[in-house]
Structure 1
Amino acid sequence: MDTELLKTFLEVSRTRHFGRAAEALYLTQSAVSFRIRQLENQLGVNLFTRHRNNIRLTAAGEKLLPYAETLMNTWQAARKEVSQTSQHNEFSIGASASLWECMLNSWLGQLYQAHTTMQFEARIAQRQSLVKQLHERQLDLLITTEAPKMDEFSSLLLGHFTLALYCASPSSLKADLNYLRLEWGPDFQQHETELLAADDVPMLTTSSAVLAKQQLSALEGCSWLPVSWARTQEGIHTVSDSSTLSRPLYAIWLQNSDKQTQIREILKTSIFA
């Protein structure tokens, strides 16, 4: 469907005059008549009854009118969206809530300072969903704690960060606390077994470090939090008889991504700076 045909149909239906429609569209009257005939031929119906100085919509034209308006509005919205994308260097980055809260929020601020012409989208979701979006080209870059398992992905080890077990009360022991699971990926579950009995379950499971931290006191719990972030928080303490854990951080993207140049430039800004 040629949108210009619909645009001409709407203008003729508004003015009820081929001449005035031609003036509004900066066309000749014969061009307007030709477009209307094209549209009628495509639909197989007459859209207007033509009498001297009396142009009216047929029943078919009346039915087409709301659809034509909707299609043109949708087309204009699509053109605007695509135009904005071309005018701005849009780049989408996906990560879990906890990574955004504890590490990537400040990094995003550095990216805006280093890349003043870029427009970023910070997307929050579970890793499995983000991997799917990356595969379907709905996401440009994934930051995660697990290496990719698919050959079509490229990856870069960005570094490591340290997790420690935190609670709300000083000098607390693991055995006296409820475990609040902050999700750090499936391969992290092996580190959680020492905090849970065989048939036990965490009192809380969340992907948000902020939420987990806020519930430490109310639930008399403990949770693995990044040490660098926890040091900036008030009212939390390391569990006395716990150790620290090191976690890797990867950047993952499609090998054939059309944003290879932007990815390389963005990854020059260190998350661990």
Structure 2
Amino acid sequence: MDTELLKTFLEVSKTRHFGRAAESLYLTQSAVSFRIRQLETQLGTNLFTRHRNNIRLTVAGERLIPYAESLMNTWLLAKKEISHASQHSELSIGATASLWEAYLTSWLQESYLEREELRIESRVSTRQSLVKQLHARELDLLFTTEAPKMDELESKIIGDITFQLMKIASNKNEEIAQFIKIEWSADFQPFLSNGAVQKIDPILTTNSAMIAYQLMKTTQAVAFLPTHWLDLYSDLAPASTEIIQKPLFAVWLNTSDQQVLIQQLLKQPINHQ
């Protein structure tokens, strides 16, 4: 099947006019008529009734429309995917908002400096959703502080990340009255039950460290933020001396066809400073 014939058919069915269809397709009117006749010959039936300027779809033409649209969409998607595959190294990477904000964006910048041809789709979602996407082959690589326990998944510890309870430096109040909970991981909860935040209900629960940081500026709240943010943001100060350390995992399908690219990317260290 010549997709140009389907494209011409859909344009004529939309405009109900051979001349306007020809203009849209940058063809002559005779070329449009010829293509429609070719398609009708291949299908063995008339697709339009022609009465002077009154062009109508036959029953067969009406039935062809959804199939033609589906075939054209599939063809365009196939062309796009094949074009990308032949020109670029494309990989989908997922993580929670906080991991992107605190660690992975700078790592991605370094990766692009090393590989100019790299094409990445970055996804931000919950860990649970990203694990499902990985299992469904909708995601190639997942960064997480908890490695999923599934036989079909490979995981590798690529470093450690550290957190510290912080406040805004201008907050001179020694007592902690408000707390913002950042959902770094499911097993981060035991740390929150210790020390100064033991009995405080969070004023906000979020999976974005940046949202927490911005809200801290307008409240007296504290939050567990990446330790290197003390160097990045001068208005932050420690609210506790305790350092919490978590492993950072890279996770992918052991049958992934992107194994080579994944291993190459994982050679790029994730800097925490």
Cα pair 2:50 2:56 within 8 Å, conserved: no
Distance change >3 Å, CA 22–CA 144, structure 1 → 2: same
Deviations 1:27-54 (A, max 9, x none): xx6x97564144356xxxx424489x99
Task: Look up the match of 1:14.
Answer: 18
Tell me how far 1:212 sits from its aligned partner: 0.8
Please give the TM-score of this superposition, normalised by the length of structure 1. 0.80
Distance change >3 Å, CA 6–CA 40, structure 1 → 2: farther
Give the match's secondary structure for 1:36.
Answer: helix
CA distance in 2, matches of 1:144, 1:70: 40
Deviations 1:104-145 (A, max 9, x none): 111111110111111111211111111111111111111111
CA distance in 1, matches of 2:11, 2:243: 70
Please give the TM-score of this superposition, normalised by the length of structure 2. 0.80
1:190 aligns with 2:194: no
CA distance in 2, matches of 1:201, 1:141: 35
Distance change >3 Å, CA 65–CA 151, structure 1 → 2: closer
Q: Any stretches of 5+ residues in structure 2 without a counterpart? A: 22-27
Q: Any stretches of 5+ residues in structure 1 without a counterpart? A: none
Distance change >3 Å, CA 55–CA 75, structure 1 → 2: farther
CA distance in 2, matches of 1:60, 1:189: 64
Distance change >3 Å, CA 38–CA 8, structure 1 → 2: farther
Task: Look up the match of 1:36.
Answer: 40
Cα pair 2:48 2:61 within 8 Å, conserved: no
Count of aligned positions: 258
1:122 aligns with 2:126: no
Please list, as runs of the form range in 1=range in 2, the aligned pairs for 1:1-80 lying within 5 A after superposition. 3=3, 6-7=6-7, 9-10=9-10, 14=18, 23=31, 33=37, 35-40=39-44, 46-49=46-49, 57-60=56-59, 63=62, 67=66, 70-71=69-70, 74-75=73-74, 77-80=76-79
Tell me how far 1:215 sits from its aligned partner: 1.5
CA distance in 2, matches of 1:217, 1:57: 65
Give the match's secondary structure for 2:228.
Answer: helix
Which moves more between the two structures, 164-173 or 180-189?
Answer: 164-173
Task: Look up the match of 1:243.
Answer: 242
Please list, as runs of the form range in 1=range in 2, the aligned pairs for 1:1-273 lying within 5 A after superposition. 3=3, 6-7=6-7, 9-10=9-10, 14=18, 23=31, 33=37, 35-40=39-44, 46-49=46-49, 57-60=56-59, 63=62, 67=66, 70-71=69-70, 74-75=73-74, 77-86=76-85, 87-169=87-169, 172-173=173-174, 175-194=175-194, 195-197=197-199, 201-240=201-240, 242-272=241-271
CA RMSD of aligned residues (A): 3.4
Give the match's secondary structure for 2:155.
Answer: strand
Tell me how far 1:272 sits from its aligned partner: 2.3
Give the match's secondary structure for 2:159.
Answer: strand
Deviations 1:57-89 (A, max 9, x none): 454366458657744663464245324422322
AA of the residue aligned to 2:271: F
Cα pair 1:179 1:202 within 8 Å, conserved: yes
Cα pair 1:160 1:248 within 8 Å, conserved: yes
Give the match's secondary structure for 2:232.
Answer: coil
Tell me how far 1:191 sits from its aligned partner: 0.5
Cα pair 1:165 1:238 within 8 Å, conserved: yes
Distance change >3 Å, CA 56–CA 124, structure 1 → 2: closer
AA of the residue aligned to 1:252: V
CA distance in 2, matches of 1:125, 1:58: 46
Deviations 1:239-268 (A, max 9, x none): 14x411111111000111000000000001
Give the match's secondary structure for 1:201.
Answer: coil
Tell me how far 1:229 sits from its aligned partner: 2.4
CA distance in 1, matches of 2:121, 2:230: 26
Cα pair 1:196 1:202 within 8 Å, conserved: no
Tell me how far 1:228 sits from its aligned partner: 1.1
Give the match's secondary structure for 2:233.
Answer: coil
CA distance in 2, matches of 1:49, 1:171: 83
Distance change >3 Å, CA 125–CA 267, structure 1 → 2: same
Cα pair 2:10 2:65 within 8 Å, conserved: no
Distance change >3 Å, CA 58–CA 215, structure 1 → 2: closer
CA distance in 1, matches of 2:36, 2:182: 64
